[in-house]
Structures are given as structure tokens and as C-alpha cells.
Amino acid sequence: MFDTLWITHVLPVWLLQRLGALSLVAVGLLVEKHYVGRTTTFANTVAINIHAAFAAAPLWLVRYANIGLIVGLIALASYASRESLPGWFYLISLVYSSAVVGLLILVT
């Protein structure tokens, strides 16, 4: 009963392959309307980097992922040290919101 994933029996393969990215889009649209947290920024930049590493990523996506990794590491370090970041940093974080990253994973 617990030796296989139930979801693999319910959803078609094409949907299972996109479920992670679709989940990011859903979370982004429902939760991150005005603000993207620092830990979320880090997780999203890791997600786009992993996608770019294993996909035939175009140069613009590689650059977006590389910049994002720097942004994500700054966000994580700031969170760990409990230091606030300037307001403009949170505007940059919107570019790495779950919805944006999820859509980019879906289309590339």
C-alpha cells in the first residue's frame, strides 16, 4: 500500500513532470502578491539554478539564475544573521518570486 506514490496513479505523467513548477506558480499567485520573503527568495533561486543546470537553458536564463543565486545567498545570510535589508532588495526579490520562477521553469 505504501510502496508506491499514490499521486503517480492519479495524475498523468505530463502533469506530474510539471507539478513542481505549477505549485510554485500557485504559491506565488496566492501568497506573494506584495512581498517575497528572504527564505523564499533563496529557495526560488536554487530552484531556477537547478532547472537551468539540467535543461538546455538559454543564455538569458543562465544569467538570471546566476544573478538570482547571489540575491538568494544575500537573502539567506541576512535571514540567518537577523539583519534587515534595504527596501530596494525586496523589490529585486519580486523578480525571483515563486510565480515568476515557476513560469520560467514551465516555459524553458
The number of folded domains in the chain is 1
- Which pLDDT band holds residue 1 (cuts at 50, 70, 90)? low
Whether residue 46 is contained in a domain is answered as: yes
pLDDT in tens, 7-48: 999 999 999 999 999 999 999 999 998 899 999 999 999 999
- Pick the residue with more confidence: 72 or 3? 72
Whether residue 3 is contained in a domain is answered as: no
Domain that holds residue 99: 20-107
Task: Determine the pLDDT at residue 28.
Answer: 96
Q: What is the pTM for the complete model shown?
A: 0.91
- Which pLDDT band holds residue 78 (cuts at 50, 70, 90)? very high
- Pick the residue with more confidence: 23 or 2? 23
Whether residue 92 is contained in a domain is answered as: yes
Task: Determine the pLDDT at residue 2.
Answer: 76
- Which pLDDT band holds residue 59 (cuts at 50, 70, 90)? very high
Whether residue 5 is contained in a domain is answered as: no
Three-state secondary structure string covering the chain:
CCCCCCHHHHCCHHHHHHHHHHHHHHHHHHHCCCCCCHHHHHHHHHHHHHHHHHCCCCHHHHHHHHHHHHHHHHHHHHHHHCCCCCHHHHHHHHCCCHHHHHHHHHHC
